[in-house]
Amino acid sequence: MSSLSVMILCGRSPRHLYVANRLCRAARPVAIVQETGSRWNREKLAKVIRPAVLWRKGWRWLRDRRRYADGGEARFFFGAAAPRLERPDLLLEVPHINHPQVAALADRLRPDLIAVFGTSLIRGPLLQQGRLGIVNLHGGLSPHYRGADCTFWALYNEQPEQVGCTLHFIDPGIDSGELIAHICPEVKPGDDELTLFWRAVRDSAEVYADLPARLERGERLGQRQPVKGHLYQVKDRGWRHESSLAARMGGGLLRGVELPARVHWFRRHEQAGSTQTASRGVAKDGNHGGKTP
């Protein structure tokens, strides 16, 4: 366990709680800030009720209701137990992560590290907080898969080896800060999008939990992203994309695919894309099979 102080910023889904709990056990948590959702105002309402926006949001709501209504995510991360934070005494709820209370709290607590997973894009004075910086867990392999629904797009592009998550330092861009680690889950023929995404997050929680101790030991982590890559937006994923991928997955897109879990840490003294390997399981210091994007 690291003695570094960590301020955790997260969402409210079971996967967010799981990662927050793992970080609390790995370092010295000083606060957990949960984003509950922005308040509605006239400007936001006017934008949402536009026909194209309303259709897109309505479709996504219905799709997510079908995907998450059975409680599968909660069971994946918490088994039979109810999803919960292990340190509710540290909780602060805010309507938006850029609420002035959050920056004020960080300014008062002066955490060594700010750890983020599942919030809106961070802007403003909060970007200057954290002695060692602000780190985010992104659900795709940056830079080639930035933005939203990256597991879906990796499968849609028939690149199962590109399914995974990225730990990176936060800068003013979207998933564009210095790379810390790529975490790729095991991929098997019977997998689907959600299983792969959840597995990637679960594996990433262990890597995320290892980060404070590595930083405390003085490891120099972080490499600039070599290319701009592609930014996938929520609006990019439509019904025809869903139908196309469903047909190909049903037709055996992952047939014969057997990829082990892989992790690559990006150290400042290495060339981008260099790899090391581990013998089995989730590799601790490199890629085990496949290429680092």
Confidence of residue 283 (pLDDT cuts 50, 70, 90): very low
Q: Note the pLDDT of residue 172.
A: 84
Q: What is the CATH number of the domain that holds 186?
A: 3.40.50.12230
**Per-residue pLDDT band at 270 (split at 50, 70, 90):** low
Does residue 273 lie in a domain region? no
How many domains would you assign to the chain?
1
What is the spatial distance between Cα 178 and Cα 243, in angstroms, rounded to a whole number?
35
Domain coverage including residue 198: 5-265
In-domain check, residue 289: no
* Average pLDDT of the chain, as a whole number: 87
Dump pLDDT digits (tens) for 161-202: 999 999 999 988 888 899 999 999 999 999 999 999 999 999
Give every CB contact of residue 69 below 8 A, 6+ residues apart in sequence.
Answer: none
Is 212 part of a structural domain of the chain?
yes
Question: What is the structure's pLDDT at 45?
Answer: 55
Tokens of 75: 């069971």
Residue 282 has pLDDT above 70, yes or no: no
Which positions ≥6 away from 208 have C-beta within 8 Å? Answer: 19, 22, 23, 26, 115, 117, 135, 137, 167
Residue written as tokens 């002035």?
100
The share of the chain scoring above pLDDT 70, in percent, equals: 81
| Cα–Cα distance list, 218 to 111, 116, 132, 215, 268 (Å) | 17, 21, 11, 5, 12
Query: Is 274 a domain residue?
Result: no
What single DSSP character describes residue 285?
A: S
Cα–Cα distance list, 192 to 196, 198, 234, 246, 247 (Å)? 6, 10, 19, 9, 12
Residue 279 has pLDDT above 60, yes or no: no
Residues forming beta bridges with residue 31, ordered by sequence position = 7
| 291 is a domain residue | no
Beta-carbon count within 10 A of 215 CB:
21
**Alpha carbons 223 and 219: distance in angstroms, whole number:** 13
Neighbours of 124 (CB within 10 A): 11
| Rounded CA separation 170/63 (Å) | 30
E-state strands within the chain: 5-10, 28-35, 91-94, 113-117, 134-138, 146-147, 165-169, 179-184, 231-232, 262-265
How large is the angle between the packed helices 14-26 and 193-216, nearest 10 degrees?
20
Could you tell me if residue 283 is inside a domain? no
Residue 290's pLDDT band (cuts 50, 70, 90): very low
So what's the pLDDT on residue 169?
96
Q: In angstroms, rounded to a whole number, what is the distance separating the alpha carbons of residues 189 and 195?
A: 12
The answer to whether residue 271 is domain-embedded is: no
The predicted-structure confidence for 42-55, as pLDDT tens digits, reads as follows 665 555 556 665 65
> d(Cα 120, Cα 137) in Å, to the nearest integer?
12
Flag whether 270 is in a domain. Answer: no
pLDDT tens for each residue of 210-229? 999 999 999 999 999 999 99
Q: What is the pLDDT of residue 198?
A: 97
Q: What is the three-class DSSP state of 32? A: strand
Check whether 257 has a pLDDT greater than 80.
Answer: yes
